[in-house]
Structure 1
Amino acid sequence: MPVMPVDRRTLLKAGGALAAVTIAGCTDSPSGHASPSAPPGPDVAVAPDWAGFGRGLDGRLYRPGGSGYAAAHQLFNPRFDSVQPGGVVKAASIADIRESVLFARKNRLTCVPKAGGHSYVGASSIANGLMVDIGNLRSMSYANGVLTVGAGARLYDVHAFLDRYGRSLPTGTCPTVGVAGLALGGGMGVHTRAYGLTGDRIMSMQVVTADGVFRPCSPTQNADLFWALRGGGGGNLGIVTSFRLSTIPGGKLGLFILKWTQSQAAAVIRGWQRFAREAPTSSWANLHLDARSDGTIAVRAVGVSTTGSATAAAAQLESFIGIRASSRSFSQKSHLEAVRFLGGGTSSPRTGFTAGSDVLRGPMDASTISALVGAVKARAGAGMTASAILDPLGGQAAKVPTGGSAWPWRSSLGVIQWYVGLAAHPTAASYNSARSWITSGHRAVAKASAGGYVNYVEPGRAIQSYYASSFARLKTVKRKYDPANVFHTPYSIS
């Protein structure tokens, strides 16, 4: 909604082949083929003056039936092509964002921001409402370890810019994810254990709230909004226009890929759970259980060491599992080489999919692990593909950053993403089958699940399950800054 997802699902180039892996969230969806729609409101006495609104913008307004509209309202996931906003603003300035919010408020239109457009439920589009595309706000500057970046910048561009200075950020890997959506929902990735979430690196930000006011947010300015935006998800409280983020070293990374047989899946999960709790923070590895259409499942770990050598990290994971991998590969890459490797290149094509998540409050017991493996086997047995992808937390991500954060999962072990690739415009039967499998995954791990990851927001899950103990305070902040619920979708805080 989807971080991807990495949000955020991503592509990993392994042994010359591209394999679907979610390192941090690269995608999103609503239930079935239903479109998010604006909430009903009182009749507006005068129809919106779209023409006058468009003339007053520095950027451009696209309207249904007009030139460029079909492309302007597209998201990453083609399943949402049928959602028809009343207008799409390609903002060229902060003034455009302010005018868009005020226009939406005046005309009782639901207003949704779009950066990378990777929301798992298509939340950056809205039927009959106003989409505000901030993708052109992508300027970047760097000084003294701090990146100042427009909220529309894409992850690959951010990493390529920082590479000039030998610096990086802890982010997801999907190259076309927007920095805003990832950071506001948390932002997991290969550096999560060593340096925390993307959102944890935010020092301050600028945001246009529902009253059209341009507000600075930091630990000392609008501190309640600063807290809420770091982990509260995008599109709930305003439209962020820029960030200041503290960067991390952009050094070499050691990478490894380990594979085991299907019969070893349960042992691999048990060992990975121990790795997630006990491995040094310089080590990270996520685990993939992939259902294949030939009836089998693939079991593999993709790992990173920030020390530059992955052999020790891989050996420790194998020791916790108690089984040497049947296939082992190692490499060392520069910062930008690793970004390209983990992201599958410098861009990512539009992709159909549906997904969901469970946050693991702690290690799963034997029966839960068995149920998880059984769910993946059942999908493979039906001749269909899917993935359960386990990402670790802990380390620096377990620590609350300066200024606080609405991210509620500091003490959790990790996150499972349930992912099913789909056709660009899938049949109802294939979509429903995918959602049914994801539901079976939720049931399998219910005993260990604390809730869901907001960057992997999905249909059918209670909104509060993404926010846990932060939900009540988030609702208070929402009422303060958006009492008229200008920023509203079926998946937002209200």
Structure 2
Amino acid sequence: MRPAPDAPALNRRTLLRIGGMAALTAGTALAAGTAAPARAGTAGTAARTGPRPADWKALGRGLEGRLIRPGDAAYDTARRLFDPAYDGVRPAGVAYCENPSDVAECVNFARRLDVPLAVRSGGHSYAGWSTRTGLIVDVSPMRAVSHRSGRATVGAGAKLIDVYDRLAAQGVSIPAGSCPTVGVSGLALGGGIGVVARKYGLTCDVMESVQIVTADGRLLACDADHHPDLFWASRGGGGGNLGVAVSFGFRTHPAREVTVFFLQWPWRRAVKAVQAWQAWAPSVPDELWSTLHLSREGGTQVQVAGVYLGGRADCERLLDRLADRIGATSSSSVRRVSYRQAMMIMAGCSNLSVSQCHQGGSLPGRTADGRLPRDRFSAKSHLAYRPIPEAGARTLVAEVDRPGSHSVLLDALGGAVGRVRPDATAFPHRAALYSVQYYAHRTGATAWTRRAHAAMRPHFGDHAYVNYVDPELKGWRSAYYGANAGRLARVKAAYDPGRLFRLPQGV
């Protein structure tokens, strides 16, 4: 096996895009249904349209957290999302909420004074919908992670890298994604496709409870027995639709040693790789999750990477079955590592400490020694309900082969994901074999994602993943939610009849 050069410390998309084998070679709880108390200066004042400067000052005094406004030294950092494309948006205020009462204070302020509201956990919304010109409710300060008796309690602002790190110290984990600075809230509320999903399900599948501040300022503790409709909708219904999640209860699984692998083939094998991988990946034992990556980033590349919840020898036997169908690899690496290290590898942080695997800065969610860059990109998605024919594979490969800086990521589903009924949670795509993400950078990125997505629509259909939200998507209700869209709309009407939480693609 020929090892790849060391990978830089970047996110998972970049890790896979350049060939990530380097790592292998080297808050406050209130009772259900009670109102979260609003503090002095906001709730209870006579209603009017639009806040005055005095209202903003009163909001700031009423928060235990920090309200940052235009003119403040931290404002330019506080207002920015992960994607610099949205740097032109200038919110009137960014509230870093320390607890559910801070969130309720902000919600009551926005409702009473008719201030546009956006909710932010990690700031990774593909469409930039975790910012707007009004008030940003940032839950990053609520990031505590604890574990007891097989259950994790996770603050809505916790970043995935911190969730993995803190739970691994207790010998457990939850199924989640790989991008290290994504907030757990956005991931879980939209479903949560991740690197051990085939064995343990989506993030929303292990969600046992969620605390949400609703549009009327109440903090509701939701589970299968309390506010069950809101609990159902919170498992796949999309972040920012129904309220502000502040805390989650998740069922955990043991975090033992695992096997991580990276295989590469020459580009001439790309069509055969798509055909072979899509037949192999959803059908192998649940313990094996993989992603097929076709990229054109400084050259074309075919790569399969993944995690196997078992030993190296068994993993290699399964990988040999794939290689027999595609042909000889140009490079490959398979190694047994700790669960925590595997998550660092998948995050693109194998050469960094956990603290460095953040964006830099002093605001909540950042670290003083954080090294991760922001990323300007364009993205779209599909979900594949059936294998695409050879013609579809050729079309996909041809689109990746076009000039530019772009990639396609196919993430395996099936296994535990597919054994849940489509209507058991708001996430409907239980029969999908894999997810598809079109991801592009630099000049021509938007044009490429549009073209590639349109070219593959005849083969994949109109299914899409709400966590890869696409503002250009037509028929998005059906694409994201399928037959669950009607029930979601009824839950929305019950808990937010005035539509305080408004998104361009809001249920």
Question: TM range, normalised to the smaller chain?
Answer: 0.7 to 0.9
Query: Is the partner of 1:467 in helix, strand or coil?
Result: helix
Cα distance change on mapping 1:43 and 1:100 into 2, 3 Å: closer
Query: Is the partner of 1:444 in helix, strand or coil?
Result: helix
Query: Is the partner of 1:206 in helix, strand or coil?
Result: strand
Question: Bigger CA drift: 174-183 or 66-75?
Answer: 66-75
CA distance in 1, matches of 2:284, 2:411: 14
The answer to whether the Cα contact below 8 Å between 2:23 and 2:345 also exists between their aligned partners in 1 is no
Alignment: residue pair count: 448
Q: How does 1:335-484 map to 2 (within 5 A)?
A: 335-345=339-349, 346=354, 347=357, 348-378=372-402, 382=403, 384-400=404-420, 404-422=424-442, 430=443, 433-447=444-458, 448-462=460-474, 463-464=476-477, 465-484=479-498
Query: Is the partner of 1:138 in helix, strand or coil?
Result: coil
Which of 124, 128, 142 does residue 122 from structure 1 map onto?
A: 128
Percent of aligned positions that are identical: 40
CA distance in 1, matches of 2:392, 2:422: 36
Cα distance change on mapping 1:245 and 1:403 into 2, 3 Å: farther
Give the deviation of 1:17 after TM superposition: 8.2
Matched, 1:212 2:221: no
Matched, 1:272 2:277: yes
Question: Bigger CA drift: 346-355 or 151-160?
Answer: 346-355
Amino acid at match of 2:450: T
Unaligned runs of 5+ in 2: 1-10, 25-46, 358-371
CA distance in 1, matches of 2:264, 2:102: 50
CA distance in 1, matches of 2:281, 2:140: 35
Cα distance change on mapping 1:194 and 1:10 into 2, 3 Å: farther
Aligned counterpart, 1:302: 305
Runs of 4+ aligned residues of structure 1 deviating over 4 Å after TM superposition are none
The answer to whether the Cα contact below 8 Å between 1:87 and 1:130 also exists between their aligned partners in 2 is yes
Aligned counterpart, 2:77: 71
CA distance in 2, matches of 1:165, 1:17: 23
Matched, 1:175 2:183: no
CA distance in 1, matches of 2:232, 2:21: 42
Question: Bigger CA drift: 483-492 or 195-204?
Answer: 483-492
Cα distance change on mapping 1:97 and 1:374 into 2, 3 Å: same
Question: Bigger CA drift: 223-232 or 352-361?
Answer: 352-361
Amino acid at match of 2:425: S
Matched, 1:326 2:337: no
TM normalised by structure 2 equals 0.84
Unaligned runs of 5+ in 1: 1-6, 19-41, 423-429
Aligned counterpart, 1:224: 229
The answer to whether the Cα contact below 8 Å between 2:292 and 2:409 also exists between their aligned partners in 1 is yes
Give the deviation of 1:322 after TM superposition: 4.1
Give the deviation of 1:308 after TM superposition: 2.9
Amino acid at match of 2:500: V
Over aligned residue pairs, what C-alpha RMSD do you find? 2.2
The answer to whether the Cα contact below 8 Å between 1:8 and 1:118 also exists between their aligned partners in 2 is no
TM normalised by structure 1 equals 0.87
CA distance in 1, matches of 2:421, 2:172: 20
The answer to whether the Cα contact below 8 Å between 1:262 and 1:297 also exists between their aligned partners in 2 is yes
Per-residue displacement from partner, 1:298-346 (whole Å, max 9, x unpaired)?
1110022111323123112223x24232221111110111111111213
CA distance in 2, matches of 1:283, 1:91: 39
Aligned counterpart, 2:7: none
Give the deviation of 1:271 after TM superposition: 0.6
CA distance in 2, matches of 1:397, 1:17: 28
Per-residue displacement from partner, 1:90-130 (whole Å, max 9, x unpaired)?
11121110010010011112211111111111111012x11
The answer to whether the Cα contact below 8 Å between 1:289 and 1:388 also exists between their aligned partners in 2 is yes
The answer to whether the Cα contact below 8 Å between 1:256 and 1:304 also exists between their aligned partners in 2 is yes
Query: Is the partner of 1:205 in helix, strand or coil?
Result: strand
Give the deviation of 1:67 after TM superposition: 2.8
CA distance in 2, matches of 1:173, 1:46: 40
The answer to whether the Cα contact below 8 Å between 1:186 and 1:407 also exists between their aligned partners in 2 is yes
Amino acid at match of 2:256: G
Amino acid at match of 2:127: V
Amino acid at match of 1:282: E
Per-residue displacement from partner, 1:338-372 (whole Å, max 9, x unpaired)?
11111121313222212111111110012111111
Per-residue displacement from partner, 1:57-90 (whole Å, max 9, x unpaired)?
1111111222321111111112212111111111
Question: Bigger CA drift: 100-109 or 61-70?
Answer: 61-70
Which of 143, 147, 157 does residue 142 from structure 1 map onto?
A: 147
